[in-house]
């Protein structure tokens, strides 16, 4: 592991000032915030991440879950995944988020991992994690051996000729469907980032994964007021029954009135280079009856742009069935 200086900033302002000195907030950052450590320490051991300074944000006052004035929920950056998943308000009003988190990782990791860290979770692509291999995300311009190599678990949506790495988060899929907002405090002040604008597609800059700049500290995430009467579900399909990343997952938030779908929010996991909101599926469902045929049509719409890699063509049908089944389960719950 690269040697680093361990710093515990006294307050968010000190953390931001220290992080602002980093040349980037993306891959290769020389200053990193440390939350639970479950991604960062793993990648530091692999020498994929080699920060010179590590800023421990765990004792900053960013660990609260509070109601917002409009009836939504404000979740602090260092709230642990397990605390969020088990929070009574989340279990009652944002069930899809609780389910998504509890479908991810293990109990130990959920006790450690923070909300902001989960937003910044890195891909599990084996080429990204192995410094002996080329990787455009890790070393821009070095090439992507995954395209012709082991890519069974990689992306079928949002990939480019430079990167096909999957975003591995479950929490982010639910937050995309719930239309969360990410709040950042940076050297130029605070700003709010709509969930869909936070993660970037790889295009020809796969080393840029988020819209964060040096010194940007995620302070909290807000969830909009719950949709009264909505039916929510997270369905995750994977090689093992537990403690495994998704091959395909679906977060669905449906409002059904008299058998008609009046509102749909859909996001997919395990298949995209970012948490994959599907406006195509939402359009296909809105105003339709809650039937198997319409669920399947929504799934077809969601995967219309999918492009298989050499080893993962099965994911297209798997993701369709995942979404159609999630819709059926949610509508009959």
Give SS3 for 118.
Answer: helix
CB of 41 to other proteins, least distance (A): 5
CB of 35 to other proteins, least distance (A): 10
Q: Taking CB under 8 A as the rule, does residue 6 contact other proteins?
A: yes
Number of residues written out for the chain: 333
Q: Taking CB under 8 A as the rule, does residue 111 contact other proteins?
A: yes
Q: Taking CB under 8 A as the rule, does residue 45 contact other proteins?
A: yes
Q: Quick one: which of 231, 264, 235, 230 has its CA closest to 251? A: 235
Distance CA 240, CA 325 (A): 19
CB of 165 to other proteins, least distance (A): 18
Q: Taking CB under 8 A as the rule, does residue 5 contact other proteins?
A: yes
29, 34, 77, 322: which one binds other proteins (CB under 8 A): 34
- 171's tokens: 């929490």
Q: Taking CB under 8 A as the rule, does residue 242 contact other proteins?
A: yes
Q: Taking CB under 8 A as the rule, does residue 11 contact other proteins?
A: no
Q: Taking CB under 8 A as the rule, does residue 108 contact other proteins?
A: yes
Strand (E) or helix (H) holding 266:
strand 260-269
Q: How many residues bind other proteins (CB under 8 A)?
A: 28
Q: Angle of helix 314-331 relative to helix 292-302, nearest 10 degrees? A: 140
For residue 84, report the phi and psi dihedrals to the nearest 5 degrees.
-70, -45
Q: Taking CB under 8 A as the rule, does residue 114 contact other proteins?
A: no
CB of 332 to other proteins, least distance (A): 22
265 neighbors 280 (Cβ within 8 angstroms): no
- 126's tokens: 């084996």
186: Cα separation from own chain's centroid: 21
Give the footprint of other proteins on this chain (CB under 8 A).
Answer: 1, 3-6, 34, 36-38, 41-42, 44-45, 54, 56, 58, 82, 86, 105-109, 111-112, 241-243
């Amino acid at each position: 592991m690269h040697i680093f200086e361990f710093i515990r900033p006294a307050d968010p302002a000190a953390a931001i000032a220290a992080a602002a000195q980093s040349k980037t907030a993306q891959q290769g950052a020389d200053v990193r915030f440390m939350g639970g450590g479950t991604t960062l320490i793993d990648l530091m051991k692999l020498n994929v991440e080699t920060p010179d300074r590590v800023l421990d944000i765990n004792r900053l006052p960013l660990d609260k879950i509070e109601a917002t004035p409009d009836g939504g929920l404000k979740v602090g950056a260092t709230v642990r995944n397990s605390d969020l998943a088990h929070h009574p308000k989340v279990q009652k009003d944002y069930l899809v988020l609780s389910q998504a988190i509890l479908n991810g990782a293990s109990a130990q990791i959920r006790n450690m991992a923070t909300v902001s860290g989960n937003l910044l979770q890195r891909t599990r692509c084996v080429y990204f994690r192995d410094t002996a291999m080329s990787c455009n995300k890790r070393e821009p311009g070095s090439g992507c051996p995954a395209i012709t190599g082991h890519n069974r678990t990689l992306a079928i949506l949002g990939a480019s000729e430079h990167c096909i790495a999957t975003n591995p988060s479950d929490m982010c899929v639910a937050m995309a469907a719930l239309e969360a907002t990410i709040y950042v405090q940076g050297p130029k002040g605070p700003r709010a980032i709509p969930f869909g604008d936070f993660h970037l597609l790889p295009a020809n800059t796969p080393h840029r994964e988020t819209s964060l700049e040096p010194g940007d500290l995620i302070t909290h995430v807000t969830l909009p007021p719950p949709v009264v009467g909505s039916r929510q579900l997270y369905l995750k399909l994977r090689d093992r029954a537990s403690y495994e990343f998704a091959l395909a997952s679906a977060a669905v938030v449906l409002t059904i009135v008299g058998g008609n779908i009046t509102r749909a929010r859909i996001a997919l996991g395990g298949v995209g280079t970012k948490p994959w909101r599907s406006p195509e599926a939402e359009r296909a469902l809105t105003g339709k009856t809650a039937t198997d045929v319409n669920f399947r049509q929504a799934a077809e719409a969601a995967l219309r742009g999918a492009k298989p890699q050499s080893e993962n063509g099965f994911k297209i049908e798997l993701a369709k069935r995942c979404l159609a089944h999630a819709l059926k389960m949610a509508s009959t719950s």
